[in-house]
Structures are given as C-alpha cells and as structure tokens.
Structure 1
Amino acid sequence: MALTGARVLRCWGAKWLGATAAATRRDISFKLDEKTAHTSLAIFKGETGVKYGMVGLEPTKVALNLERFKEWAVVLGNTAVTSGRHYWEVTVKKSQHFRIGVADVDVPRDCCIGVDDHSWVFTYAHRKWHAMLANERAPITGIGQPEKVGLLLEYEAQRLSLVDVSRTSVVYTLRTKFRGPVVPAFALWDGELLTHSGLDVPEGI
C-alpha cells in the first residue's frame, strides 16, 4: 500500500527556520535542533540523541519561539534536503513508541508528525510497525523490534524507505510528493533515540 498526499505551500523557508540546505550531496549530516524540541525532550550526545522525560520543562521556563513543538514530543533535524539520495540510521534504546521520518521545514508546530500531509513517517508502537501519512496507517511486516534501523530519502524519486540494517534491505517505501525542503523528524514517548548521519547510501538499496 502506498500512501500519497498533497501539500499546500507555505511562506516559511528553510533559511528562516535556521535549517541549512543539503543539496545534491549523498551524505547528509545533521544535528537535532533543540529550538524545535518539545519541552518533554532532552537533547544529548552532541545534539545527536533525544531522550523522553514524562515531566519535562515548564513551558514558562523555556524561551518563547515559533519553531518549538507545543503539544507533541517532536524534534526536527537542522539540515534541509532539496535534492539527492540521503541515508541515516537511528539506534533505539528502551523505546517502545516512536516515529521517525521527514517533515516539511514549515510543518505545523501544534501537530504531531504523521497526522497531516506535511510529514512522512514510520511509527513503532505496540510491537508493530506502520507507515503513516495524513493520519492514515499501512502495516509493515518483515521487521521486528528494532535495535537500529535506517532511513533512505530519495528526493527526486519522491520516496522515503525504511531499511532493515541487519540485512541491508528495504522493508517498506512511502511514495509521495515533496514540494519543498524537508528535514529529518522524530517523535517519541519513552526511552531514547540516537541518530547517525553523514553515512554513505549502502550498496544494493
């Protein structure tokens, strides 16, 4: 099942949001952008890891900015992609509920990723994987509880794929339409995620 969705262009740009551009290079390197992180999330390990905390910071103690997610435990990467093939991996530590994928740089900050047509994600919850777009879900089989997974973004081909790192094989591909810059996107409700970027696209995928 392929999920597709239209996108309405908005006026915010990658430069305004502080994201740098990754044009045609194939080794996207990014950090997690603390300015976008919900107050329940802590960024660590040189801005490559994110940890969920049930309590989090009091919103009144966090600097007000339009980039921060207000209601959902989401954080974005700081490098925007406008072309090329890019690959990164995510190590999962003690998390049973998370989402990983990409989002428009101007994705609404009052929604979770995966619930509208501004983001494309793979979600893991209740020991099951799903592809998710605009709140529609498609089940994914052939991959179990993860320790590490990969994401392959092919901008011109309009594809985002979930990769089984242990077998170096594509498990599921979301086919869609990107109409502007996109950034890596993450949401979690327990445990930790650690990102690994600056990687070459593995041979054979």
Structure 2
Amino acid sequence: MAVPVKAARLCRLAGRTVTALSITRRRAVSLPAWRCYTSTSTGNNLQFRLDERTAHSSLDLFKKNTAVIYRMLGLDPTHVPNNPERFRDWAVVFGDEKISGGRHYWEVTVKKSQEFRLGVAEALMSREDCVGTNTSSWVFGYAQRKWFAMTSNKMVPVALVGKPERIGILLDYEAGLLELMDVEKHTSIHSIRAQFKTTLYPAFGLWDGELLTHSGLQEPEGPK
C-alpha cells in the first residue's frame, strides 16, 4: 500500500525528500545479548544519553551525548562502525536507557530546527524504518510549521500554535500513554494511546538544526 503523499513528504532519506514510498513488512533488528543496553528503567526520573551506536551518519552527538546536530553532508556511512543498532537510511537516534515500565518525563530544547520527531520506539524496531512510520514507534513531530502525532505512518494534526523552544514528553508505560507537554503551563498538549508490550527507548528524528535533551527530571505536578 502506498504511503500518503503528505506523510511521504515529511520523511527524508539521507537529507533528500521522499515523494513516493512503499510499505513492506520489515524484519526487526536482531541484537546480540551482549550488545544490548545494560540499564533498565521501571520507576521514575529516567536518565539517559543519546546512543552513538544507533545514530545515523548525518547526526553528530555533542554535550556528552545529550545533544544532537544534523549535518547535511554527514559522515561517509562506510566510515562509521557497521553495527546492527545503527540507522542507515533515516536520521534517527535512540536514547541509551531501556524503559520497561513506570512513568517517565523528559524535555527537549529545539534550536534552529524546522523538522524533527520526538517520542519512543521499541528496542527491536527495524533500523530500515523511520520513527513514526511503523507499529513499533510513537512520536510527535514538527514539519512545514505544523505539529502532528504519528504512528503506523498515520499522522494526526496537533493544535499547537508556533514552535516552543522547549517541549516535554511524558510516558506512562502501564497506562499506554505518551503525552506532548507544555513545559511552562505543565499541561498536556496532545496524547497518543497505545499498548506497550516490550522494551522501549527514547527516540529522536532530526533533519535540520539541533536538539538538546534534558532527562532525570521530575514529572510536572500539574497546571500552573
């Protein structure tokens, strides 16, 4: 089944816009046990860094792997380690902390970016896919000056005026809830409901500018 043109325009392959794309069943990436991440979070106050092993070659990590910048030319894919965790086609990077339960909150500062995605993805999500285009990832995205929620390659518009410099993500694993949060008002902007059945990671897609992550935060108490 062909991807809706609107959705296809929002996905980029190595810096180039894709206008037509076919969906086929992707095989989940198989990660040897010794290469899997070692820490697992089931409580609160999730603390993570970005994992270079998963980062596409156009993404450059900095600030002790808490931030990522998109570089159009990037690195020659043949010059980065060829490991199964790495995204080869899409500008995606995962956090390095497993999530198998609990409520977790983190924030992201957006700098000079007009196209990005923030959310979570299953540990064994296919590295041939982009976050939001399959049943293994749930994200909030910004592109063409508009916000949207996305999973299974279906986009739902999010009524958010403008582009905040800092945005919050709240995950309630057991409740099957992922929320986009207003960090100033401490209110939910939009929710994605799902049934999480396996290990998740924080997930990020970036096609220009920079993202700076802030983890280890307390969940907001409520509206100010």
What is the CA–CA distance in structure 1 between the aligned matches of 2:127 and 2:104, rounded to whole Å? Answer: 25
1:23-53 CA-partner distances (Å, limit 9, x unpaired): 1x21000000000000000000011000000
Q: 1:63–1:138: structure 2 CA closer, same or farther, 3 Å change rule?
A: same
**Following TM superposition, by how much is the alpha carbon of 1:11 offset from its aligned partner in structure 2, in angstroms?**
6.3
Q: Say which SS state the counterpart of residue 215 (structure 2) adopts.
A: strand
**Following TM superposition, by how much is the alpha carbon of 1:78 offset from its aligned partner in structure 2, in angstroms?**
0.3
1:79-133 CA-partner distances (Å, limit 9, x unpaired): 0111110000000000000000000011110111000000000010011100000
What is the CA–CA distance in structure 2 between the aligned matches of 1:162 and 1:50, rounded to whole Å? Answer: 20
Q: 1:118–1:13: structure 2 CA closer, same or farther, 3 Å change rule?
A: farther
Contact 2:28 2:124 in 1 (8 A): no
The CA RMSD over aligned residues, in Å, is 1.8
**Following TM superposition, by how much is the alpha carbon of 1:143 offset from its aligned partner in structure 2, in angstroms?**
4.0
What is the CA–CA distance in structure 1 between the aligned matches of 2:32 and 2:120, rounded to whole Å? Answer: 16
1:52-82 CA-partner distances (Å, limit 9, x unpaired): 0000111111111001001000000000111
Indicate the residue corresponding to 1:139 in structure 2.
Answer: 157
TM-score of the aligned structures, taking structure 2 as reference length: 0.84
Superposition pairs of residues 46-125 of structure 1, within 5 angstroms: 46-125=64-143
- The structure carrying a bigger strand percent of its residues is 1
Contact 1:30 1:197 in 2 (8 A): yes
Contact 1:14 1:105 in 2 (8 A): no
**Match 1:18 to one of 15, 22, 37:** 37
**Following TM superposition, by how much is the alpha carbon of 1:144 offset from its aligned partner in structure 2, in angstroms?**
2.1
What is the CA–CA distance in structure 1 between the aligned matches of 2:149 and 2:207, rounded to whole Å? Answer: 18
Q: 1:185–1:15: structure 2 CA closer, same or farther, 3 Å change rule?
A: farther
**Match 2:211 to one of 167, 171, 193:** 193
Indicate the residue corresponding to 2:199 in structure 1.
Answer: 181
Match of 1:79, as an amino acid?
A: E
Higher relative contact order (CA 8 A, sep 6+): 1
**Match 1:36 to one of 37, 40, 54:** 54
**Following TM superposition, by how much is the alpha carbon of 1:17 offset from its aligned partner in structure 2, in angstroms?**
2.4
Q: Say which SS state the counterpart of residue 35 (structure 1) adopts.
A: helix
Contact 1:33 1:75 in 2 (8 A): yes
Match of 2:164, as an amino acid?
A: P
Contact 1:22 1:79 in 2 (8 A): yes
**Following TM superposition, by how much is the alpha carbon of 1:165 offset from its aligned partner in structure 2, in angstroms?**
0.9
Indicate the residue corresponding to 2:13 in structure 1.
Answer: none
Structure 1 residue 154 corresponds to structure 2 residue 172:
yes
Match of 1:171, as an amino acid?
A: I
Gaps of 5+ in 1: 1-7
Gaps of 5+ in 2: 1-26
TM-score of the aligned structures, taking structure 1 as reference length: 0.91
**Following TM superposition, by how much is the alpha carbon of 1:167 offset from its aligned partner in structure 2, in angstroms?**
1.3
* Corresponding pairs, count: 197
Q: Say which SS state the counterpart of residue 198 (structure 1) adopts.
A: coil
My pick for the range that moved more, 141-150 or 187-196, is 141-150
What is the CA–CA distance in structure 2 between the aligned matches of 1:135 and 1:203, rounded to whole Å? Answer: 32
